[in-house]
């Protein structure tokens, strides 16, 4: 809904309005205990070489101590088939429930770390914590990505991975969305072939 009666901009007090974001399912496990999943939206890519990402987690979360103690976690991307489970893992605590069991998810073994991934996720990133930064409400776990495990169903005969066919989900302002129409690809604004076809479209 866009209100045609109103124009201009209004300023709000500082807050988190950087959207859309990926809401990811972060799996973790202490040796000898059940594996757990926490949904995290305050997550991001922070370095290419070495491949690094960060997740920000409140100290009160059951997962916080597990990740701090083990120094490991797995970032599992969320597809539309997983979105209900992602929401559940974001409102229920591992202190009270076994989220893998409740959501009928399967822990899977990954290389490099002991924490399990989620078999049903299209991409699992095995992460090793390299730094914990206290920011305020959240601590930021800065981690190196030691391994990337992808679902074979999205690989074609030429071994090309079609991530955007996995029905990935974005989180924006309290709501979940399935990614929709493709608008372009990296660098398309300056590519000759795209410019030509844009011109052809205009002339029609």
Ligand X SMILES: Cc1cc2nc3c(=O)[nH]c(=O)nc-3n(C[C@H](O)[C@H](O)[C@H](O)COP(=O)(O)O)c2cc1C
Name the residues that contact ligand X, by CB under 6 A: 23, 36, 38-42, 56-58, 61-63, 87, 90-95, 138, 171
Query: Residue 55 to residues 24, 73, 74, 159, 190: CA-CA distances in angstroms?
Result: 9, 10, 11, 30, 34
Closest CB to ligand X among residues 63, 149: 63
**Least spacing, CB of residue 202 vs ligand X, in Å:** 40
Judged by beta carbon, residue 100 or residue 171, the one nearer ligand X is 171
Rounded to an integer, what distance in angstroms lies between the CA atom of residue 97 and that of residue 4? 47
CB of 172 to ligand X, least distance (A): 10
The dihedral of CA 75, 76, 80, 82: what is its sign? negative
For the chain, the first-to-last Cα distance in angstroms comes to 31
Contact 151, 161 (CB under 8 A): no
Q: How far is the CB of 138 from ligand X (least distance, A)?
A: 6
For ligand X, give the closer residue by CB, 22 or 147.
Answer: 22
CB of 88 or CB of 161, closer to ligand X: 88
Residue linked to tokens 């495990």: 149
Q: What is the nearest approach in angstroms of ligand X to the Cβ of residue 14?
A: 17
With CB atoms as reference, the residue minimizing the distance to ligand X is 90
CA–CA distances in Å: residue 200 to residues 93, 194, 195, 196: 55, 10, 9, 6
120 within 8 A of 105, measured Cβ to Cβ: yes
> Could you give phi then psi for residue 130, rounded to 5 degrees?
-115, -20
When the beta carbons of 102 and 197 are compared against ligand X, the nearer one is 102
Q: Minimal distance in Å, beta carbon 99 to ligand X? A: 7
């Amino acid at each position: 809904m866009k209100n045609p009666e109103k124009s201009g901009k209004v300023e709000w007090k500082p807050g988190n309005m950087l959207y859309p974001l990926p809401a990811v399912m972060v799996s973790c496990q202490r040796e000898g205990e059940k594996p757990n999943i926490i949904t995290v939206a305050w997550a991001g890519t922070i370095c290419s070489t070495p491949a690094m990402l960060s997740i920000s987690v409140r100290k009160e979360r059951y997962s916080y101590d597990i990740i701090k103690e083990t120094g490991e976690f797995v970032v599992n991307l969320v597809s539309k088939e997983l979105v209900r489970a992602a929401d559940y893992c974001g409102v229920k605590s591992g202190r009270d429930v076994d989220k893998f069991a409740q959501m009928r998810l399967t822990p899977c073994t990954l290389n490099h770390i002991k924490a399990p991934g989620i078999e049903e996720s299209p991409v699992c990133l095995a992460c090793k914590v390299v730094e914990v930064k206290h920011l305020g409400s959240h601590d930021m776990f800065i981690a190196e990505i030691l391994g990337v495990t992808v679902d074979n169903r999205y690989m074609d005969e030429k071994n090309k991975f079609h991530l955007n066919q996995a029905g990935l989900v974005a989180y924006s302002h309290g709501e979940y969305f399935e990614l929709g129409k493709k608008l372009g690809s990296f660098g398309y604004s300056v590519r000759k072939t795209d410019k030509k076809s844009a011109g052809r479209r205009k002339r029609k």
